[in-house]
Amino acid sequence: MSLTKTVGFFAGTTLAIGGVAFGADQTNYASEIADLKAQIASMKASQGDAWLTEQRAAEIRGIVTDVLADAETRSSLQGSGAGAGYDGGFFMSSADGNYSMKVNVLEQIRWTFNNREGQGSNDQSWGFENKRTRLSFSGNLVDSSWNYKVAYYFGYSNDVEFGGANTVLADAWVSKDFGNGFKLTAGQFKLPYSGEYGLDAGNLQFNDYSTVSNKFADGYGQGLMFGYSADAFRAAVAYVNSLNSVNSSFGSGSPSDEYALTGRGEFKLSGTWDQFNSGSSFKGEEMGILIGVGANWADSNNAAIGDVFGMTADVTADFGGANIMGAFYWDNNDDVAAGENPWGFTVQGGVFVSDDIEVIARYELGDADTAAADNDFSAMTLGANWYLAKNTAKMGFNFGYAFDGIGATWSDAASGNNWLQDNGTDDGQWMIQAQMSFSF
C-alpha cells in the first residue's frame, strides 16, 4: 500500500472512531494516534525524502508544460522557430525562411585639408564632414526566390551619385530569381556599367570612387533589369527612364529620354565572384582575374543633348595580398558641339605590407574633348588603409595631387574626392584626407 493510501486509511479510520466513539476512552484514542505516527516515521525512515522530491518534481513538470503551451499560443508575431542574429548584418527570419529582413549601416566620417593657389583667402580649406550615412533593408519575401532592397542616404555630403540631393532614396527594388541563373529586377537600382562604380561605397580601396569613374558612370536609374549569372560569366541589361536619374515622378514630359539602355558583362578567368565585391585583395585570398565590359545608349528628349553612346572596359587582377585594376571610358555625344567624344582612364592598386595594412596608389586622366582651358583632368592619389576588421571597420589615409587646374567641366565629378574648383587655370592643387568607414 502506498504512503498516501496508508495515511488516508489511518486518517479515515481515526475519524470514524472519533465519530462513533466520541467521548470514549481517551487512552485508546491517544494510543491510535501514537501508532499512526510510528507508521509514518517508519515509512519516512525507509524512503527518506524521496516521496517529497517526487511529488515536487511532478508538480514542476506540470507547471512547465502549462507555461510552454501558453508561450506557443503567444508566438504569432515571431512564428514558431523564427530566427534572429547577425550574419553580415542584423537579421530576422521566419522559421521556413520565406520572409527575412537584414539591416545594414554604412557610416563614413572624413577630414580633409585642401590647398589651392590663387584663391585669395580660400587658398586653404579644411574640416570634418559626414561623408555618407546609409541605412539599408534587404531580404526575401514570399519565398527565397523573391528578394528586395531599400537603401536610404541621410545627409550625404558632396552628392555626386544623386545629383546634389542631401537626403535621398537610393535602392528601392524587388527581384525574382527564375532559376538557372536568370533574374529580373524592377524598381530603382545602381545601373550595370562601370566596374569600379559597381562596388559598394563601403568596399572601396580608396576613400571614394575615382573622379573619372564619377564622370562616366551611369549612376542609378528607374526601370527593369535582366540578369544572368553562371560560374565564369555574368551579365545584366537595364531599361530605364534615364541614365543618372533617381526618384523621378511621372508627368507630361515623361520620360526624360526616349529610351535609355545600359548593360555590363563580366568574364571571370579565375577566382570567386565574392572576392571581386571588394576593391582590395586581402592576404589569403586566391588568385583571381576579372574582365568587364559595359555599354550605354540613350536618346534624350532634349535636342541639345541628342543621342548618347558610351563604352567602358576594365580588368582586375587579385593576387592574394596585392591587386591592380585598370579601366577605360569613352563617350560619343551626338549633336553636342563641345565634348562630343570625352574619354578617360584609371589605374589603381594596392599591396598589403602586413595582415591589416595596405599601401595604395591611383593615377587617373580624363579628356572632356572641349576647347576650354579646363578640358583635362590629371591626378595622382597615394595612401594607406588600416583594416581593423576588413571592410567592416577601416581607416583610409589619402594624399592627392592634381597636375591640371580643375575647372567647371570636372568640378562636379571631382567633388566626391574633395577636389575644389580652381580659379582660372592654376594647377598644383593638393590635399590630404583621413576617413573612418564602418560598414555593418
Q: How many residues does the chain have?
A: 440
Per-residue pLDDT of the chain (440 residues; tens, 9 = 90+): 444 444 444 344 444 444 434 444 445 656 767 776 776 666 666 655 555 566 666 767 777 677 666 655 554 444 446 788 888 889 999 988 899 999 999 999 999 999 998 776 678 999 999 999 999 999 999 999 999 999 999 876 656 667 556 678 999 999 999 999 999 999 999 999 999 999 999 999 999 999 999 999 999 999 999 999 999 999 999 999 988 888 888 877 777 788 899 999 999 999 999 999 999 999 999 999 999 999 999 987 765 566 889 999 999 999 999 999 999 999 998 756 556 899 999 999 999 999 999 999 999 999 988 877 678 999 999 999 999 999 999 999 999 999 988 988 899 899 999 999 988 667 889 999 999 999 99
d(CA 140, CA 190): 19
Helix-, strand-, coil-residue percentages of the chain, each rounded to 5:
20, 45, 35
Cell numbers for 120, please give them.
585669395
Domain made up of 88-439: CATH architecture: Beta Barrel (2.40)
d(CA 200, CA 204): 7
DSSP state of 194: -
CATH 2.40.160.10-classified regions of the chain? 88-439
pTM listed for this prediction: 0.78
In sequence order, the β-bridge partners of residue 112 are: 127, 433
Cell 555630403, residue?
157
- Torsion angles phi and psi, residue 404, rounded to 5: -115, 155
Please tell me whether residue 52 adopts helix, strand or coil conformation. Answer: helix
Contact 320, 293 (CB under 8 A): no
